[in-house]
Chain A
Amino acid sequence: MTSGLIELAGIERVFRLGDSEVHALRRLDLQIASGEYVSVMGPSGSGKSTLLNLLGLLDRPDAGTYRLAGRDVTTLSADEQARLRSERIGFVFQSFHLVPRLTAAENIALPMVLAGIAPSRRAERIASALRDYGLENRADHRPDQLSGGQRQRVAIARATIMQPAVILADEPTGNLDRATGEEVVRLLETLNERGVTLIVVTHDAGLGARAQRQLLMEDGLLQHDRRHGSETPGPCVAPT
């Protein structure tokens, strides 16, 4: 097996709710190669959001190792993880998560501002991002002056502005109507065609089916790992 961009080995994540323990992820092994388009599906509580948070370094596993681009990131300090998020990972959220007081351009610039990139270099990249996502005449609008589709385009522009290797999208079309959702998915797929690894968590079977590789999760386990419709058993389908 060639080493991929993302390698999870024996990942466990346990939440304690009162006295009971909830196993969000059970001994999960997963490899994702650079440039893959992966959808993660499954019912509520199957652990797909937990998986996404772990992949995005927002959460730490209780056991197992996570290697990102060949480097073990499970043991990194919070600040080192923050730097990796800044440089390698872009997030797209269901509810957009735009900062309401900032304009579209400022929201797009936010990751660069946090990374301490010089204003002159920022301006150039913001201008081209606004052009790429058709937001040129919306640059100075605040989120409440934008439509849902425009908001998600701003969010995608923000997620890609640092040119990350991976984009993690959590229900990117969940708050959008069908036509706008379609448009947003096409944007994400274009990014994937340019070589960005795209991981989409969704309830929507139609959206999930568009990915080259589809993961189905249930009770913290990978139930299926399909590629291009041809079913191959997941690497960790352990009978329970």
Chain B
Amino acid sequence: MRSADLIRFARDAAAGHPLRTVLLVLAMAIGVAAVVVLTALGDGARRYVLNEFSSIGSNLVIVLPGRSQTGGFNPGNAVTSTPRDLTIDDAQALLRASSVYRAAPLAVGTSEISYGGKLREVTVVGTTAEFVEVRRLSLAHGRFLVTGDWRRGASEAVIGAKIQDEMFGRQNALGQLVRVGDRRFRIVGVLAASGQGLGMNTDELVILPVPLAQAMFNSNTLFRILVEASSREAIDSAKAQVSEIIRLRHEGELDVTVITQDAVLATFDRLLGTMTLAVAGIAAISLAVAGILVMNVMLVSVTQRTAEIGLLKALGASAATIRNAFLAEAAMLSIAGALVGLLLGHAGAAIIRQLFPAFPAFPPAWAVIAGLATALTTGVLFGVQPARRAARLDPVQALARR
């Protein structure tokens, strides 16, 4: 039998039972669509987190107080297990390192902002002029904090876009005096709206000079020091230099954790990549179920078409021809299901992107290919047994069946 005839014959056989064919295609399509949509979600989550984390700056080295892992016995531990505070002096000392381009200290707390009888709770960030560069923030109006001595600061504040909206509405906030905590500040700048920032929404921040913020929180410790390495290649040496400087300043004890943006990115990448893979695996189960359905439907088809199989044998069809006809039908249904599933899956991913524009829900190419390949393989694999059964039918008994 010629391939073109085989394909036409299988197509006609499938078209002869529309309900059965539609159900089977649907089952396969749901499996493939599940793989496409779920991997799009998983990979979207991965890209989202990576984007967010990349957008906080580049070549970043972050210093946080406290060790996240034990470093064996240290004489310092015998005296006290509380880590030393991270101070503005520590931050300033880091600027001496050759691989460090910029550094910004960060003191974080919550306070209240009030203006014209409106009161709002806000996150207050105490930092220096370098912060806007390190974090790659842009201003909508006005200017950022002035460069100068880190231990002094004018009573000036920069507010996020949302604070501007809520406290001032359409009124120009620049130059206005607001009360933050128990002090008065003049607003000198408004940040451009940036949407979600990882862990810290810059739209809802009030940024003050770091000494004033520390005075407000009545503490001289820092929450973080953000360090920008002088280049991408310098990240590792910056990390080493930063660790060494802090260790020397803290009496030989490394009681801070120094992480690089790249390492965090790689960790997230790995973590969320694995999650995507796991989700794809779960979705693939539905493909296996669809494969079993293919087998079921093809077995029913063989039973229903027993007389036809007998006839084909009487008309001179070899066992191979009959086996191929049924395999072609199973493969065709699987392909159709896979293609419909691909369309559904991409449509689903597109809908997710429409609903959540910030979320890049694109199915990864490997998942699409793997989904299609799994659909075809299961479809054909589960089609083998029914096809062999059809090919083995005894023609006399098959013809006697109506």
Binding site for B on A (CB under 8 A): 53, 56, 58-59, 78-79, 82-87, 91, 93, 95, 97, 99-102, 110-111, 113-116, 118-119, 158, 162
How many whole Å from A53's CB to the nearest CB in chain B?
A: 5
Q: What is the bound-complex CA distance between A118 and B13, given in angstroms?
A: 21
Within 8 A of A (CB), among B347-380: none
Contact, CB under 8 Å: B316 / A97 = no
Q: What is the bound-complex CA distance between A82 and B316, given in angstroms?
A: 4
Of the residues A79, A87, A101, A110, contact of B16 by C-beta under 8 Å: A101
Of the residues B4, B9, B315, contact of A85 by C-beta under 8 Å: B315
- Most chain A CB neighbours (cut-off 10 Å) among B1, B4, B307, B316: B316
Main secondary structure of the interface of B (DSSP, over half): helix
Contact, CB under 8 Å: A113 / B316 = no
Of the residues A58, A102, A116, contact of B313 by C-beta under 8 Å: A58
Contact, CB under 8 Å: B2 / A87 = no
| Across the A-B interface, the 10 shortest Cβ-Cβ residue pairs | A86-B316, A101-B16, A85-B316, A58-B395, A82-B318, A111-B315, A114-B317, A79-B318, A97-B311, A113-B5
Contact, CB under 8 Å: A99 / B1 = no
Known: A56-B314, A58-B313, A83-B316. A97 touches B15 (CB 8 A): no
Binding site for A on B (CB under 8 A): 1-2, 4-5, 9, 12-13, 15-16, 307-308, 310-321, 395-396, 399, 402
Contact, CB under 8 Å: B307 / A97 = yes
Write the chain A residue with the least CB distance to B14. Answer: A101
Contact, CB under 8 Å: B399 / A116 = no
How many whole Å from B9's CB to the nearest CB in chain A?
A: 7
| Complex A-B: 5 CB contacts under 8 Å | A82-B313, A97-B314, A102-B12, A110-B312, A119-B5
Q: A79-B320, A83-B316 given; name 16 further pairs at CB < 8 Å.
A: A56-B314, A58-B314, A58-B396, A58-B399, A78-B318, A79-B319, A82-B319, A85-B315, A86-B316, A93-B399, A97-B311, A97-B314, A97-B399, A111-B315, A113-B1, A114-B317
Contact, CB under 8 Å: A100 / B316 = no
Write the chain B residue with the least CB distance to A158. Answer: B315
How many whole Å from B218's CB to the nearest CB in chain A?
A: 86
Contact, CB under 8 Å: B1 / A91 = no
Q: What is the bound-complex CA distance between A93 and B313, given in angstroms?
A: 14
Of the residues B16, B315, B319, contact of A91 by C-beta under 8 Å: B315
Q: What is the bound-complex CA distance between A86 and B313, given in angstroms?
A: 9
Contact, CB under 8 Å: A78 / B1 = no
How many whole Å from A235's CB to the nearest CB in chain B?
A: 26
Write the chain B residue with the least CB distance to A91. Answer: B314
Known: A101-B15, A116-B2. A78 touches B315 (CB 8 A): no
Of the residues B308, B310, B312, B318, contact of A83 by C-beta under 8 Å: B318
Find chain A residues with CB under 8 A from B318 CB.
78-79, 82-83
Q: What is the bound-complex CA distance between A102 and B16, given in angstroms?
A: 9
Q: What is the bound-complex CA distance between A196 and B289, given in angstroms?
A: 53
Write the chain A residue with the least CB distance to B311. Answer: A97
- Most chain B CB neighbours (cut-off 10 Å) among A84, A91, A97: A97
